[in-house]
A and B are shown apart, each in its own frame.
Chain A
Amino acid sequence: MLVAGIKSRPEYKGLDVDAHAKRHLFVLEGEGAQALIDQVGAKGRDFLAKSEILYLAAAAAPKAYDVALSALSPDVFWHAPTLQPLLFRLRACLDLARMGTRLYIAGTEGFIGQIMQVAMEYGIDYHSIHTEHRGSAARRVQCVHCKGITDNVTTSPFACTHCGLPLLVRDHYSRRLGAFQGVNIDAEEPGTAPAPEEMFP
């Protein structure tokens, strides 16, 4: 079974602010804040007046990126306490979004995947979304057996948090589910799973 080097694995090409967009919607998590700050360094401040930023601090809370982001004085800055209200607010933004709005996502892969899922529900073509992976390499993984999703997986194998089977984490990725595939590692000889190895720190 092919584990690594699978072509469904997404590529994150960088935020790369689009000078022609009428409006910019940035959805950022944790270290993803720095991706936007770097764009300001590279491209200047002009786009900020047309920008709305939704930010979830998550694991980067101690770094107080929210202060740095609001100091950029974008048109709108909103700091989400957790993912759920962020998704709720995102839907409201997408309901109101006009033609010419560009969506940007930066943060961990699991976060990018979940924001993409919402965007795709709104009919946004995934090719048009600018993404940048920042922060931990932890993965969001779906157990192919029970279909339960486990967030922030850093090892392979890991125990499915739903059905308990030890799962091998493959590079095979579903955009629709926003998750990598986890497959039982000791199916042929139950009880022989190797010890978890830190693969996605």
Chain B
Amino acid sequence: MTITFRNETFRDDFTFRNSLYNIRRFPFPFDRDEYMYSVNMEPHVRGKKDSVFENLIDVDEHYVAEMLDRALVLKEDPLRCQALPHMMAAQWDTLELLMEHQAQDYSEHFTLTKNGDRWRWINRPMGIDDTFTFGDPSTLPYPPMEYITRQAQGDFCIVDQRDNNLWMDAGMVTTQADWSLDFDIGMNFMEWHGPVPLAHQIGVFDRALKFLLNLQQGKPTRRLNWTMTVNPRLDTSPENYHKWGPDRATVTPENVGEKMHLRVELQSLWRLPRSNAILFVIRCYLISFNELVTVPKWGRRLPRVLKSLPPEIVDYKGLTRNRPIMLDWLEKYDDGSPTSPGIFPD
């Protein structure tokens, strides 16, 4: 399928929009009218055509614009991309995985040709055509993880497995929901999840860690996570909180439909073959409330979910200030009729 890439921005004038096609395929994260943390993992296998699950590494109309935004973030702050020295094998694993999936599922846009260790990578949307030696970092313009994640949508963490734990030892993180790679790098699973409320107490992280330690190669797993962002801003990092924080105070009953965005992360986890590390892909999707309520089921469900949230989660996701405005506006779209199970539009 040929994708028409949009020319748009995620900062300043915020020209980001979703096409009608992209709205229908948005990964709405609520399969029922309420939400609580759980070990919401399922096999990462191909799903419905025209959904974000159609391909396991999803590329969409925002690809080119997102890669330009990433390049801007890295210019301002190179610490968004870091890898500890022992992660080189995992970096190559990551490069291979992303190149193979993108080339296989989007052959009009990407081509990978292997001739022994000599690989040729063509990325047409970005105008890249590079030949390099797999395993030799000196043949690429960036270290392998940085090279390929400058050409792949979503944030990426590579976690090393040792001592029955996972360690965040590498990452490319420029579109994060308010957490810092530079601060968290080197931490283990429980430590980097330290700031999350409620979930530790109900055993979510103990069970999730146990599951991941046994993750098998060739059997990736996935989960959805979500928050809200004012304006379609990808870089909501703590580093820049003093720059985007003021946006939260600009939401009014008149502009909430346009300004407030549901931000969904399709997270997939992959055991890597050479390094035995795990690649954690955090693919971020944004949708404005105006766009979201064009799907009646989602317009009914979102206010119900927002009402049912435990206060700790409201606070953690930074929703406290604007929840009343959001609810007032969204409730117009809830006619009280029942909603069907599952996340897809009716």
Q: Is chain B found bound to chain A in the same assembly? A: yes
Which A positions have Cβ atoms within 8 angstroms of B?
A: 1-2, 6-9, 142, 144-145, 147, 165, 170-172, 174-177, 181, 183-184, 187-190
- Which of the residues B193, B238, B249, B315 comes within 8 Å of A189, measured between beta carbons? B249
- Which of the residues A6, A177, A187 comes within 8 Å of B194, measured between beta carbons? A6
Binds A, one of B15-23, B42-50, B179-187: B179-187
30 contacts between A and B (CB under 8 A): A1-B178, A2-B196, A2-B315, A7-B190, A7-B191, A7-B193, A8-B190, A8-B191, A8-B195, A142-B183, A144-B239, A145-B240, A145-B241, A147-B182, A170-B195, A172-B183, A172-B194, A174-B183, A174-B184, A174-B186, A175-B186, A175-B187, A181-B180, A181-B238, A183-B238, A187-B241, A187-B242, A187-B245, A189-B249, A190-B246
Known contacts A176-B186, A187-B246, A188-B248; A144 and B193 CB within 8 A of each other: no
Q: B79, B239, B248: which has the most chain A beta carbons within 10 Å?
A: B239
Task: Judge whether B197 is part of the interface by a CB distance below 8 angstroms.
Answer: yes
Known contacts A2-B196, A183-B238; A189 and B187 CB within 8 A of each other: no
Question: Measured between alpha carbons, how far is A175 from B200 in the docked complex, in Å?
Answer: 21
Q: B183, B185, B241, B315: which has the most chain A beta carbons within 10 Å?
A: B183
Known contacts A174-B187, A175-B187, A184-B245; A2 and B238 CB within 8 A of each other: no
Chain B residues with CB under 8 Å of A170's CB are 195
B191 near A145 with CB under 8 A, answer: no
Chain B residue with Cβ nearest A177? B183
| Residues of chain B at interface, number, CB under 8 A | 31
Chain A residues with CB under 8 Å of B200's CB are 7
* CB proximity of B120 to chain A, nearest CB, Å: 38
Question: Measured between alpha carbons, how far is A135 from B316 in the docked complex, in Å?
Answer: 33
Q: B195, B241, B321: which has the most chain A beta carbons within 10 Å?
A: B195
* CB proximity of A160 to chain B, nearest CB, Å: 11
Residue interface bits B223-261, CB-to-A below 8 A is 1, else 0 = 000000000000000111110011011000000000000
* CB proximity of A195 to chain B, nearest CB, Å: 19
- Which of the residues B195, B241, B245 comes within 8 Å of A6, measured between beta carbons? B195
Chain A residues with CB under 8 Å of B240's CB are 145
Question: Measured between alpha carbons, how far is A177 from B180 in the docked complex, in Å?
Answer: 13
- Which of the residues B187, B238, B318 comes within 8 Å of A144, measured between beta carbons? B238
Task: Judge whether B192 is part of the interface by a CB distance below 8 angstroms.
Answer: yes
* CB proximity of B259 to chain A, nearest CB, Å: 14
* CB proximity of A67 to chain B, nearest CB, Å: 39
Chain A residues with CB under 8 Å of B193's CB are 7
A172 near B246 with CB under 8 A, answer: no
Chain A residues with CB under 8 Å of B184's CB are 174
B245 near A8 with CB under 8 A, answer: no
B316 near A1 with CB under 8 A, answer: yes
* CB proximity of A143 to chain B, nearest CB, Å: 10
Other contacts beyond A8-B192, A144-B183, A189-B249: 10, CB < 8 A: A2-B196, A8-B190, A8-B195, A144-B180, A145-B238, A147-B79, A172-B194, A176-B185, A183-B238, A184-B242
Question: Measured between alpha carbons, how far is A172 from B190 in the docked complex, in Å?
Answer: 12
Chain A residue with Cβ nearest B178? A1
Q: In chain B between 149 and 186, which residues have their CB closer than 8 angstroms to a CB of chain A?
A: 178, 180, 182-186
Question: Measured between alpha carbons, how far is A118 from B115 in the docked complex, in Å?
Answer: 45
Q: A2, A7, A142, A183: which has the most chain B beta carbons within 10 Å?
A: A7
Chain B residue with Cβ nearest A142? B183
- In order of increasing CB-CB distance, the 3 nearest A-B pairs are A187-B245, A8-B194, A7-B194
Chain A residues with CB under 8 Å of B245's CB are 184, 187-188
Chain B residues with CB under 8 Å of A6's CB are 194-195
Question: Measured between alpha carbons, how far is A46 from B121 in the docked complex, in Å?
Answer: 66
Chain B residues with CB under 8 Å of A1's CB are 178, 195, 315-316, 318
B195 near A2 with CB under 8 A, answer: yes
* CB proximity of B84 to chain A, nearest CB, Å: 9
Known contacts A183-B241, A188-B321; A2 and B316 CB within 8 A of each other: yes
B183 near A165 with CB under 8 A, answer: no
* CB proximity of B188 to chain A, nearest CB, Å: 9
Chain A residues with CB under 8 Å of B242's CB are 145, 165, 184, 187, 190
Chain B residues with CB under 8 Å of A189's CB are 246, 249
* CB proximity of A50 to chain B, nearest CB, Å: 29
* CB proximity of B176 to chain A, nearest CB, Å: 12
Known contacts A1-B316, A2-B316, A187-B245; A9 and B194 CB within 8 A of each other: yes
* CB proximity of B137 to chain A, nearest CB, Å: 23
Chain B residue with Cβ nearest A166? B242
Known contacts A7-B194, A8-B192; A184 and B183 CB within 8 A of each other: no
